[in-house]
Every structure is written in structure tokens, then in C-alpha cells.
Amino acid sequence: MESVLKLLIVDDETRFLKTIARRLRLRGLDVSTASNGPDAIALARGREFDVALLDLKMPGMDGSQVHRALKEVDPLIETIILTGHGSLRGAVELSRLGAFGYLPKPYELDKLLDALAHAFAQRLRNMHAGQPEIVERIDGLGQVEDPLERLRQLATLDGGR
Amino acid sequence: MVAPSKLVPPSQRARYRSHYRELLRQTLVRQLVLYFLPLLLLAAFFNLQYWRFTEDSRRSHLSVIAEQQANTLDLFLRERLVNLGNLIDDQAFIAHCCSQEYLQSALSRLRQSSNTFVDLGVVDGQGRQVAYQGPVRFPSSVSYRRESWFRELMQGGGHWIITDVYLGFRGQPHFTLAVKRRRGDSVQILRAALSPEKLTEYINTIEGAREVQAAVVNGKGVYQVVTRRGGAPRSRSPFLPPRQPPRGYLDHPDARGSSQYAYAWLGGTPWVLVVRDTGAGRRAFAWMPSMVPLITFGFFTVMGVVILIRARQLVGKQLAAEQHEADLSGQLVQAAKLASVGELAAGIAHEINNPLAIIAEEVGLLKDMTDPELAADQEPLDLAEHLDAMHEAVFRCRDITRKLLIFVRQTEVKLEQWHPHKILDEVLDGMMGNELRISNVEVERDYHAGVLQMVTDRNQLVQVMVNLVKNAIDAMKGGGHLGVRTSHQDDHVVIVFTDTGCGMTAEQQEKVFMPFFTTKEPGKGTGLGLSVSLSIIKNFGGKMYVDSAPNEGSTFTIELPYEIK
């Protein structure tokens, strides 16, 4: 099965990483994991990622620092930050940061997939900014309800996978 | 000083009782001085004034008696002299002076004027009594030549003399009036003896109501006329007032050592009338001043009771206020604790979310594996591994909630033996462990091996340390270094927290322990943490202080005695 999404997850809870990665791989995502900032950046330099899922509170580099570093490597990467706060202020801060969005932890898998789909759509829009037909089709896919299905269809749009 | 409340150990309740006594004592003293003292002064003043007044009154009373009676005596004596003078100047006398008959009728005429006249005698210029009429049987020819009165009369320029009271030839107390006339070359003297009885009666009348004692004393201090009560006639009297002023009141000891009497010198003879108070007289005047102290005493007793009641009321009110303050303070401590819990809660919620997320994913994975679509050609799960992971995560949650609950619960103050290092480790590893790790704060412990166990209330001490660690973390955004060092001196432990955070200006250092002072943005800190921590440490009998400089970090030092006093 071709990969639906190239995802990088960064979290210091290794058990959690292992399990979530496994679940997402079952659904056809290409998941790479790193338990700290430097490892994540090294991975990002090695290959391309569509979306990065970052835990905010980590020892060493925290989520926002990793976000900045990843954006330096690939400005078009979209990041979703996992936070325990869930406050409005936190959200405003994060969007000012330039992250795509945030998710509370723990989260429902459907909501995660939904967020990933939206983030991926945004990345594709940015990548194909000069190609209005593709952008139109991306927008059209917004109708699709099942996020996993949406991801699959978006993936097909992304030529040269 | 905190009054009994749930947060104060029993040993402090004994202090509370002695505090109450001390407060009561102070209030009583204050009230007594405030109310009694002026009243006392006033009462003393008025008493004094009254006493002075009565004294003056008594004095003038006596002086008036002395003067008036002296005047009367004077007059009496002058009249007798006039009687004699008239007689000696009478032509009939000049003609018949030595005739017994004449003298007899002259004497009875004199006695009609005044029955003090006892006898009559005619004396020549040499002192010989040439004629006599009276009750006394004289020896044949009596000569007065050696008598001092004769000599004085003969030598002096005056025409008359009055003697002191004396026994004389007759052996009976009497005094003599004598008048002198020149008859050509010779001198003729008419003398009369007067009985002092009349004068004594007179003195008795003055003494009348027994309020005063009166006496007539001569210039040498010998009683002339005195009542039996006063003294023995012709004996030495204790009175000898000064000649000047001739009338007055003696306040101070005279030549004889006696004091306080009124006197008046007579004009005609060197006699002085002396009047003084008897005990009865004094008492009559004195009853009032002795009543006043009694009344005052009664009044003061009543006032004292009122003051005592009032003092107790005041103290009661003050203690109630202190109790209220202590309650508020206790509530404040609890509120600060809850506020810091609120701050902790954010970190703790984060902590809990991780194991919860793990459980959610493990469960999710197990469900995925039962979904035929997803699990198609997957390796079978090692169930044990995943169930263990869930189990572990559950207990992680439990530990986290437990440490929060322990911190939140308001427990009674329990003084027990704890080792400060153990408490420090609990705080650094347990409660704040995760937060320290996440905030990239490196903790370096430098524990002195000689530090011993101390008596303390674990919960309150933990509250203080959590507060200090949290502050250090907040000061070191982005991470830093927290050094925790212990040492001890004599009877106390020293714990030092050093961070590499943003530090404080001198102005901030001054205010940092004040309640509601915070350098954090609104909503991010209550400003209560340090002020409550300080009051906890102070309650333990210790000290807490800070040393800091902007951008050079802060050092908080706690000194705690091993035994709470």
C-alpha cells in the first residue's frame, strides 16, 4: 500500500510513540518517530515529511523550538502541536508561532486524522500554489467526511510520491 | 503570635494562656494608671486643701480666743489698778491711810468692785508695811524691801506694778498689785493682794466646752494661772512664746520645744495667754478628713471593680480579634496553598495526560487488532506487553493524583521527626520532579552529612519548598540550574536554594516577601507563595531571606531550628 502521509512524531514518552506509530502504520501512514528534538531534526534533514506531530513539553528542546527548527529545514512542513493546556490563549500563541494547529493530549484518533488531513491539504495548497486546478481539487476534497479517505485522495494529488 | 486554631500545635496553647494573662495584666495596669492616677491626685489635692482650710480655721479660732481673752484679762487687771489708784489718790486715804477702820472700809469697798481683792497694805519708801487690813497674820513688821516687786517699783519710772503669782509671806498663792505715789519727800505705796482663783475660774470658762486648753504664763515660762487639767500652778510650763509679734500662733517648736498654740501677751504685765487645742477639739475638726479617705477608698474599690470588668472585656475583645486574625491567617495559608495548587495543577494535568494518552493508544491498538480490515496480515500482538504498559500507566496516574491530594489536604499540624534531606528529595524527585525535567532545570544536590533529623510539620515545610522550587523554575524560562545545599550550625539547619534565573532588583528583593507582590503577569501568580512561606518559617522559629541580582539568579536561604520553640 502506498503511504498515505509522511508523518514525523516527536514525543518524549517512548511507549506512547511506539503505540501510536503502530496504529497509524496500520492505517497506511508512513510514520517516523523521534523522542527528542535533535533526533527529529536529524531525521527531517534526511528525508521529506508532510506533517510533524510535536509534543509541547519535552526536556531539552521543547515543541516550539523543534517546530522552528523543522520549519527551517522545510518551510512547507506543517506542524501540529500536542498540548495539555487546551486554553484559548495557548492556541493563539501557537498560531502566532506558525504552527498549523494544536491537539489536546490524549486525543481521539479520528480527530488526529482529521487534523492531519487538514494539515496535509494546507501543505499541498502551498506546494501547488501556482496551479489553481489542483488547489480547486484540494478544496473539493474538503467534502469528504472520512479523514482517512481524504488523506488517501490527497495523497494521489501529490504527484511524484 | 497565633492563637489556637487547628493549625497550631498544643504546645503553643500554653503560650496562648500566658499571653492572655500578660495582655490582661498590661491592660489593667494601663487602665489603672489612666483612671486612678488622676483621680488619686485630685483626691489628694482636695484633701490637702480641705486639711489646710480646717487648719487655718482652727488656728484663727484659737488666735481669736487668745486675743479676746487676753484683752479681757488686760482690762480686768487695769480696772483693779484703777481701783487702787483711785483709792491712793482719794483725799480720805491720804488723811487716814494708816487707820485700821479706814482701811477696813476701803478694802470692803474694793471688794465690792471685785472680790479678787484679798487684802490691802500700805508700805513706805523703805519697804516697811506700816498698815495692813486683811486675813493674813503677818509677823510684827514685815518688810518688802528685798522683794523684787518693791525694788522694781521704787527704781522704775512707773507708778504701778503687777507681780507674778507667788506664795509670799502668807504661804498662799496670790499676786500683788501695787501703786506708788510721792508725798513730798517720801514715797507711799499702796499694795493689794489678789487671789488668782478668780482668774482660774475665768480660765475655766474659756476652757468651757473642753475644746481648748488655756493658761497664763509669765515671761519666764512659769504658769501663773492654769487649770488642773493643764498643769500645776507656778510650775514650769512648756510654753514660752516669743515677744514679737505680741499676738499670734505658734507653728514651730519654741524655746521649750512645744509647738502649735495661739498666744497673746497682755499689755499691762509680762504675762501671756496661751490657748491650744485639746484632743477633743482636734477630733471635732478632724472627722471630715478621716471620712474622705474612707469615701475615696470605697469609690476606688468600686472603680477598681469597674476597671477590672472593663479590662477583661477589652482583653476579651482583643483576643477575639487576634483569634479572628489567626483564623484569617490560617485561611490565608490554606488559600495560598490552594492557589499554588492551582499553579501546580497545570503541571500535574500535563503529567497525567501522558499516561492517559498511553492507555488510550494501547486500548486503541487492541481494538485495531480486532478489526479485520486493519489487522489483516499483521503479526499477532504480544498481549502481555500491551496490558503491562496500560497497567503501568494507570499506576502512574494514581501516583500523580495522590501527590496532588496530599499537598491539597488541610491536615492538622503534626510535629514529628523528619530528616530535611528526605523532605527535599520528596519535593525534588516526587512532586516537582516532572516539572523540573520538563522545564530543563538541572538539579544539583549538595547535602551536608552532618545534618540531623528535625522536629517539624512535614506538610507545611513541603509547601514552602514546593513554593521555592516553583519560583526557581518560573525564573528560569528555557531552563537553568537549581542548586540545593544543606548545612547546619549548632541548633539549626540551613537550606539554600540557588537558581540561575532572571534574578531580582534591590527594590523587588525588598518587597518579595510581601503578600500579593508578584513579578508574574496577571493571572499567573497570586503573590501569596513567599509571604505565606515566610510566615510558616517564622512560626517554626526560623528565618528566610534572599540574595539576588538582576540576571544573576537568586539565592533563597532558610534557617530552621532543630527544635521548634
* ipTM exceeds 0.95, yes or no: no
Residues 6+ apart with CB under 8 A from A157: A124, A134, A137, A138, A141
Q: What backbone phi and psi angles, to 5 degrees, belong to B283?
A: -65, -40
- The shortest C-alpha distance from B380 to chain A (Å) reads 13
| Boundary of a domain, candidates B230, B257, B278 | B278
CB A95, CB A73: distance < 8 Å = no
pLDDT of residue A161: 45
**Is B353 in Cβ contact with A84 (below 8 Å)?**
yes
Range of the domain at B438: 414-565
**Is A19 in Cβ contact with B358 (below 8 Å)?**
yes
How many CB atoms within 10 Å of residue B65? 20
- Band of pLDDT at residue B256, cut at 50, 70 and 90: low
Instruction: Decide if pLDDT at A122 tops 80.
Output: yes
By the CB < 8 Å criterion, does B353 face chain A? Answer: yes
Residue B331: all three cell numbers together: 485561611
Instruction: Decide if pLDDT at B162 tops 70.
Output: yes
- Band of pLDDT at residue B544, cut at 50, 70 and 90: very high
Cell 499540624 found at: B413
Please give the Cα distance from B114 to B195 (Å, whole number). 11
User: DSSP labels for B245-295?
Assistant: SSEEEE-S--TTS---EEEEE-SSSSEEEEEEE-HHHHHHHHHHHHHHHHH
Helix, strand, coil shares of chain A, percent, nearest 5, are 50, 15, 30
CB B375, CB B368: distance < 8 Å = yes
Which of A15, A104, A107 minimises the CB distance to B389?
A15
Please give the Cα distance from B390 to B392 (Å, whole number). 5
How many CB atoms within 10 Å of residue B9? 14
What is the distance of C-alpha B218 from the center of its chain? 54
A45-90 residue pLDDT tens = 999 999 999 988 787 888 888 999 999 998 889 999 887 655 555 6
B112-158 residue pLDDT tens = 888 888 888 888 888 888 888 888 877 767 788 888 888 888 887 78
Tell which residue, A80, A10, A93, has the closest CA to residue A44: A10
Pairing between β-strand A6-10 and β-strand A51-55 as defined by DSSP bridges: parallel
CATH number of the domain enclosing B155: 3.30.450.20
pLDDT of residue B533: 86
Which of the pair, B548 or A106, is modelled with greater confidence?
B548
Residue of B nearest to A23 (CA): B365
pLDDT of residue B323: 82
Q: Looking at residues B373-397, what average pLDDT do you find?
A: 84
Please give the Cα distance from B262 to B54 (Å, whole number). 15
| Residue B453 within a domain | yes
| Residue B75 within a domain | yes
Tell which residue, B215, B211, B209, has the closest CA to residue B282: B211
Instruction: Decide if pLDDT at B333 tops 80.
Output: no
Cell 509670799 found at: B168
- Which positions in chain B touch A21 (Cβ < 8 Å)? none
| Boundary of a domain, candidates B223, B254, B278 | B278
Instruction: Decide if pLDDT at B360 tops 70.
Output: yes
Residue of B nearest to A84 (CA): B350
**Is B349 in Cβ contact with A16 (below 8 Å)?**
no
Cell 516532572 found at: B434
Instruction: Decide if pLDDT at B93 tops 70.
Output: yes
CB B515, CB B531: distance < 8 Å = yes
By the CB < 8 Å criterion, does A106 face chain B? Answer: yes
CB B520, CB B509: distance < 8 Å = no
Task: Point out the least confidently predicted range of B7-11, B122-126, B215-219, B359-363.
Answer: B7-11
How many domains is chain B built from?
Answer: 2
CB A138, CB A122: distance < 8 Å = no
B183-214 residue pLDDT tens = 888 888 888 988 888 888 877 777 665 677 88
> Which residue stretches of B32-147 are H helix?
37-89, 91-96, 100-113
| Residue B371 within a domain | no
**Is A27 in Cβ contact with B361 (below 8 Å)?**
no
**Is A109 in Cβ contact with B349 (below 8 Å)?**
no
Mean pLDDT, rounded, of chain B:
82
How many CB atoms within 10 Å of residue B132? 19
- The shortest C-alpha distance from A20 to chain B (Å) reads 6
Mutate to test the interface with A, among B358, B374, B388, B391 (most CBs of A within 10 A): B358
- Band of pLDDT at residue B398, cut at 50, 70 and 90: confident
- Which positions in chain B touch A57 (Cβ < 8 Å)? 350, 438
pLDDT of residue A32: 94
Tell which residue, B500, B425, B434, has the closest CA to residue B461: B425
| Residue B315 within a domain | no
pLDDT of residue B255: 63
Task: Point out the least confidently predicted range of B236-245, B438-447, B499-508.
Answer: B236-245
Q: Report which residue type is found at B443.
A: V
In SS3 terms, B306-338 reads as: HHHHHHHHHHHHHHHHHHHHHHHHHHHHHHHHH
Q: What backbone phi and psi angles, to 5 degrees, belong to B499?
A: -120, 165
| Boundary of a domain, candidates B251, B278, B305 | B278
| Residue B378 within a domain | no
Task: Point out the least confidently predicted range of B84-98, B226-240, B334-348, B366-380.
Answer: B334-348
CB A3, CB A51: distance < 8 Å = no
SS3 B418: strand
**Is B438 in Cβ contact with A16 (below 8 Å)?**
no
Beta bridge partners of B558: B495, B544
- Which positions in chain A touch B438 (Cβ < 8 Å)? 57-59, 62
CB A125, CB A56: distance < 8 Å = no
pLDDT of residue B279: 64
pLDDT of residue B286: 60
Please give the Cα distance from B149 to B127 (Å, whole number). 10
CATH number of the domain enclosing B500: 3.30.565.10
Residue B477: all three cell numbers together: 524560562
Strands of the A6-10 sheet, one edge to the other: A30-34, A6-10, A51-55, A78-83, A101-104
Which of the pair, B289 or A30, is modelled with greater confidence?
A30
| Residue B354 within a domain | no
pLDDT of residue B377: 72
By the CB < 8 Å criterion, does A25 face chain B? Answer: no
Mutate to test the interface with A, among B348, B350, B351, B353 (most CBs of A within 10 A): B353
B51-80 residue pLDDT tens = 888 888 888 888 888 888 888 888 888 998
Alpha-carbon distances, residue B530 vs A22, B7, B127, B527, B553 (angstroms): 47, 18, 122, 7, 17
**Buried b vs exposed e over B414-434: b needs ≥16 C-beta within 10 Å?**
ebeebebbebbebbbeebbbb
Alpha-carbon distances, residue B395 vs B299, B357, B364, B399 (angstroms): 78, 13, 19, 6
Record the pTM: 0.49
> Both ends of chain B: CA-CA distance in Å?
13
By the CB < 8 Å criterion, does B119 face chain A? Answer: no
Mutate to test the interface with B, among A22, A54, A113 (most CBs of B within 10 A): A22
Please give the domain boundaries of chain A with CATH numbers for all domains.
Answer: 6-156 (3.40.50.2300)
pLDDT of residue A1: 44
| Residue B377 within a domain | no
Instruction: Decide if pLDDT at A2 tops 70.
Output: no
**Is B346 in Cβ contact with A85 (below 8 Å)?**
yes
CB B72, CB B266: distance < 8 Å = no
- The shortest C-alpha distance from B431 to chain A (Å) reads 17
Please give the Cα distance from B521 to B253 (Å, whole number). 91
| A16 burial type by CB count under 10 A (0-12 exposed, 13-18 middle, 19+ buried) | buried
CB B470, CB B436: distance < 8 Å = no
Give the range with max mean pLDDT: A131-145, B15-29, B494-508.
B494-508
- Which positions in chain B touch A85 (Cβ < 8 Å)? 346, 350
| Residue B104 within a domain | yes
Instruction: Decide if pLDDT at B410 tops 70.
Output: no
By the CB < 8 Å criterion, does B44 face chain A? Answer: no
The angle formed by the CA atoms of residues B3, B546 and B554, to the nearest 5 degrees, is 140
pLDDT of residue B1: 43
